[in-house]
Chain A
Amino acid sequence: MELFDDFPSMGRKDLVDLKKGIDFAFRDFSRDNGEAIEGFFDPLMYFMVWFEKLLMAAPWPIMILIFAILAWLGARSIGIVIGTIVSFLAIGYFGMWEDTMATVAIISVATFLCIGLGIPLGILMSRSNRVQATVTPVLDIMQTIPSFVYLIPVVMLLGIGKVPGLIAVCIYALPPIVRLTNLGIRLVDKEVLEAAESFGSNYRQKLFDVQIPLALPNIFAGVNQTIMMALAMVVIASMIGVKGLGVPVLRAVSNQYLALGLMNGLAIVALAVIFDRVSQEYGKRLQKHRQGGHGV
């Protein structure tokens, strides 16, 4: 009966040895390769430093003008443009301008990185059921594993700073764009694809004339979610040395500064709402022709 009362676990000593073994192996690995890997990411780091400085150093009226123009180009809605301007004015007025610019910088870089990696990966997945079956569980893990867990090896390898922060953000924010690109391409109307084939399209022509354009609404929903998830990581990223709105939030948590936490939290929310509205409106406009109903 002993078997049922006590789980037949590995002995305490063996377990400790196993954990130590893994820890030391990884420590050695990061000692040996950490520098090389850091070197690999150096260009990215220089770019991020430069970009962040650029956003912070630019005169605020110009930045607000740029945000307003981008909002207009994306959403074509006066309401959203006004909302954007008011939000950024308030952010500046409450002294959060620099942190906000730092956050905008890392979110932008993370989003572009995720798009650049995620769309090709999604296309690959849509091409083959086997790739899909392999990648899907990896994406599941990336989305569900607590972020703190993968922060450990990332920090061990790369230390604290912008690049590990960026990697942590991307691990969390990459899955939606991959999934929705894959889904969008798989959902492309079979007859339209057949039509492309029947006119003698090659692989590239099918991809760029038919599959990507028809999948674009879904791909765009993926971009939108990726941005949202990147923003959700701002606080956690600040734990490993990323500047931005997450830093004061962390400080507020450890010191019980209610107002500080609230204000910076609201600034993150404001960014989220702006990014979300603008990208959704843009996605809707992409689909405009597909619904018809006007004109004839």
Chain B
Amino acid sequence: MSDVKVSIKNLYKIFGPNGGAMVSKVENGATKTSLQAEHKHVLGLNNVNIDIPARRIQVIMGLSGSGKSTLIRHLNRLIEPTSGEILVDGEDVLAMSAEELRNFRRNRMSMVFQKFALLPHRTVIDNVGYGLKIKGVDKAEMNERSQKWIDRVGLAGFENNYPAQLSGGMQQRVGLARALATDAEILLMDEAFSALDPLIRNDMQDILLDLQEELHKTIIFITHDLDEALNIGDNIVILRDGAVIQQGSPQEIVLDPADDYVRDFIKDINRARVLDVSAVMEASSSDSGLEFASTVILEDAMPAMVKADVTHANVMRDGEVIGKVTLAAMIGAIARPESNDEEQVTYR
């Protein structure tokens, strides 16, 4: 795996007047509900450990109230932890002085917000340049750099509009451009697309993936929408009641959900779009003459097999046959988990 950019270790956050004293209670098995009922403290994060790889999109998902916003705000210390460690490039964020923290936020980590959080009294170009202004970049350079990002997110011509004059999708492009303009390597996105209509949301995901192809930022992306997580995530962490329930690649999560909470999340997704042929292949080879690269998703592979009128095909990697897929295994894999009887769960 690629190198670790952000490392979260044994992170606890307990909201309340005496959070520190509650950590040991949580370690000894107190739950979010019992902590609330017996001690009037809110369990925000419960022993979170995540290594976030550099230059990838790390998705963090969970239902509302599961602690996603709390977690992401720890990374730039908008929220102080109750206990634990946060390392960015090996450097301890919690040890930074106020001055160091400001410089860290100005140069190394920027954030995109759910409700856009633009300055209503500033034009688009001034909003995009906001982070640069804070850094003390002079006006001419600020405008030049902002313009570049405005063009890049497709807002050319709207430089002098005010946020309220733009649609939600356009406002969030301003938010994205503002975050990119500081050239920070790490981008935090807290449900950045959740407030947008589904179609606009897909557009924004495409814009983000497009940008990422070129920029290779380390993106920490929060969502409660699994389709969005699967579409853009290289890795996914699933949170519940502030604790990490499962982490892995989209395929790992879809194929092997850790518990009912996760199973509930994935029950309605289009599995054919997540799983690739290597995920359902068996160690054998096929003589059908049809071949797939190992990363071809089932949604593309199955029609191709039907078209070629074959029921199995080889899976290839670097020019070598690494296994064989059958149409039956593929269909088994895309069936919704609840609809399976026990003996039919062959896709494992």
| Residues of A in contact with B (beta carbons under 8 Å apart) | 189, 191-192, 194-202, 205, 209-210, 213-214, 216, 289-296
User: Min CB distance, A269 to chain B, in Å?
Assistant: 34
* Contact in complex: A200, B164 (CB < 8 Å): no
Would you call B104 an interface residue if the criterion is a C-beta within 8 Å of the partner chain's C-beta atoms? yes
Please give, as numbers and ranges, the residues of chain A lying within 8 Å of B105 by CB-CB distance: 197-200
| Residues of B in contact with A (beta carbons under 8 Å apart) | 73, 76, 78, 101-107, 109-111, 113-115, 117-121, 130-131, 133-135, 158, 161-167, 170, 178, 182, 188
Report if A199-B121 is in contact (Cβ < 8 Å); known contacts: A290-B164, A291-B164, A296-B167: no
CA distance A295 to B167 in the complex (A): 11
Summarize A's interface: helix, strand, loop or mixed. helix
Report if A200-B165 is in contact (Cβ < 8 Å); known contacts: A191-B115, A205-B134: no
* Contact in complex: B115, A199 (CB < 8 Å): no
Please give, as numbers and ranges, the residues of chain B lying within 8 Å of A214 by CB-CB distance: 119-121
* Contact in complex: B113, A290 (CB < 8 Å): no
Interface centre among A199, A202, A291 (most CB of B within 10 A): A199
CB closest chain-A residue, reference B73: A194
* Contact in complex: A199, B131 (CB < 8 Å): yes
CA distance A175 to B21 in the complex (A): 43
Please give, as numbers and ranges, the residues of chain B lying within 8 Å of A291 by CB-CB distance: 164
Partner of B134 from A201, A292, A295 at Cβ < 8 Å: A201
Partner of A202 from B102, B130, B166 at Cβ < 8 Å: B102
CA distance A260 to B104 in the complex (A): 69
* Contact in complex: A198, B76 (CB < 8 Å): yes
* Contact in complex: A200, B113 (CB < 8 Å): no
* Contact in complex: B102, A200 (CB < 8 Å): yes
5 closest Cβ pairs, A-B complex: A292-B164, A200-B106, A200-B105, A289-B162, A195-B117
Partner of A198 from B103, B110, B167 at Cβ < 8 Å: B110
CB closest chain-B residue, reference A198: B111
* Contact in complex: B113, A195 (CB < 8 Å): yes
Interface centre among A196, A197, A290 (most CB of B within 10 A): A197
Known: A194-B73, A199-B182, A200-B135. 11 other contacts (CB 8 A): A194-B78, A195-B118, A198-B78, A200-B105, A201-B102, A209-B133, A289-B120, A290-B120, A292-B162, A295-B165, A296-B166
Partner of A194 from B104, B117, B161 at Cβ < 8 Å: B117
User: Min CB distance, B180 to chain A, in Å?
Assistant: 12
Please give, as numbers and ranges, the residues of chain A lying within 8 Å of B162 by CB-CB distance: 289-290, 292
* Contact in complex: A292, B165 (CB < 8 Å): yes
CB closest chain-B residue, reference A210: B119
CA distance A216 to B182 in the complex (A): 28
Please give, as numbers and ranges, the residues of chain B lying within 8 Å of A296 by CB-CB distance: 158, 161, 165-167, 170
Please give, as numbers and ranges, the residues of chain B lying within 8 Å of A213 by CB-CB distance: 119, 121
Interface centre among B111, B119, B135, B158 (most CB of A within 10 A): B119
Please give, as numbers and ranges, the residues of chain B lying within 8 Å of A295 by CB-CB distance: 161, 165
Please give, as numbers and ranges, the residues of chain A lying within 8 Å of B101 by CB-CB distance: 200
CB closest chain-A residue, reference B132: A199
CA distance A189 to B163 in the complex (A): 15
Report if A289-B121 is in contact (Cβ < 8 Å); known contacts: A198-B76, A296-B167: yes
Please give, as numbers and ranges, the residues of chain B lying within 8 Å of A290 by CB-CB distance: 120-121, 162, 164
Interface centre among B107, B110, B134, B178 (most CB of A within 10 A): B134
Report if A209-B119 is in contact (Cβ < 8 Å); known contacts: A199-B130, A293-B164: yes
CA distance A295 to B166 in the complex (A): 8
CB closest chain-A residue, reference B107: A200
Please give, as numbers and ranges, the residues of chain B lying within 8 Å of A189 by CB-CB distance: 115, 117
* Contact in complex: B78, A197 (CB < 8 Å): yes
* Contact in complex: B120, A191 (CB < 8 Å): no
Report if A199-B114 is in contact (Cβ < 8 Å); known contacts: A290-B121, A296-B166: no
